[in-house]
Structure 1
Amino acid sequence: MIRCVGGIVHDTNGRLLLVRRRNPPGEGLWSLPGGRVEPGESDETALMRELREETGLSVTVGALVGTVTRPAPSGLYEIHDYACQVRSGTLRAGDDASDARWADAAILATLPLTGMLRETLEEWGQLPRG
């Protein structure tokens, strides 16, 4: 298993933070920001690093919302998704994200998403509220 983390971030209007993947897996598809936990990193440290790299935002990591597994080229990704709050920064795509945006329900419905993202977010009660 390859341990990964993802950030579930809603703004004050209830919109959900999404990034478009620049690289495989999921190249060109929209997903939650996040990535691999590096050796010696905690989930919290990895998530703060990944969100800063991919979105330019500094976040506070909150509670674990849920965990999913997805196929990886050599095994499985085990992705631990956490609720996060934005502390500071200006939204901009960076690192392995080709775009970053806040999505309300109408926008989310038009975006090509990775895997089972929409269904998983719905199951967890984390779809955009705005």
Structure 2
Amino acid sequence: MTQRSPTIPCVGGVVHDDQHRLLLVQRANEPGRGRWSLPGGRVELGETDHQALVREMHEETGLAVEPGALVGRVTRGNYAIADYRCTVVGGTLRAGDDALAARWCDAAELRALPLVDELLDTLEQWGVLPE
């Protein structure tokens, strides 16, 4: 009998600026190193999703956010990711410890980037693509 690896709870942030561009980070680590994705990461023991999201968003992007409603959930390998809408409440955009780069993307820029698998389709299904 094959033993399954444990599921790792993660969170991601869906953040739009006042021009309705979407915040993305270029991943510094596997899975998906060098590809662009929503910012986020693992939920640490004892954290709520919202606490983890505030911490991860600051670590990866330098931005302070206020988490909002759940947008959707995805599973990528052993990672169970809950993605939430977020509002920026402070900070300055910069690439943090788990990101090679961070940027706001409009629809054309999003489609031109090397994205993590299934990101474009998922964002479209959730109705959160940038303009």
Q: Same fold (TM over 0.5)?
A: yes
SS of corresponding position for 2:112: coil
1:39 aligns with 2:45: yes
Q: What amino acid does structure 1 have at the position aligned with 2:60?
A: E
Name the Cα RMSD after superposition: 0.5
- The Cα shift of 1:103 comes to 0.2
- The Cα shift of 1:118 comes to 0.3
Write the mapping of 1:28-67 to structure 2, written as runs, cut at 5 A.
28-67=34-73
Q: Gaps spanning 5+ residues in structure 1: where?
A: none
Q: Which of 79, 83, 86 lines up with 1:84 in the alignment?
A: 86
SS of corresponding position for 1:121: helix
Could you tell me the TM-score, scaled by structure 2's length?
0.94
Q: Which of 76, 84, 88 lines up with 1:70 in the alignment?
A: 76
SS of corresponding position for 1:24: coil
- The Cα shift of 1:109 comes to 1.1
Q: For the residues of structure 2 that align with 1:112 and 1:36, how far apart are their CA atoms?
A: 22
Partner of 1:124: 126
Q: Gaps spanning 5+ residues in structure 2: where?
A: 1-6
How many residues are aligned here? 125
Q: For the residues of structure 1 that align with 2:129 and 2:79, how far apart are their CA atoms?
A: 22
Q: For the residues of structure 2 that align with 1:40 and 1:30, how far apart are their CA atoms?
A: 28
- The Cα shift of 1:106 comes to 1.0
State, as a whole percentage, how many aligned pairs show the same letter: 65
| CA-to-aligned-CA distance 1:30-65 (integer Å, 9 cap, x gap) | 000000000000000000000000000000000000
Kindly name which structure, 1 or 2, has the bigger radius of gyration based on alpha carbons.
2
Q: What amino acid does structure 1 have at the position aligned with 2:100?
A: S
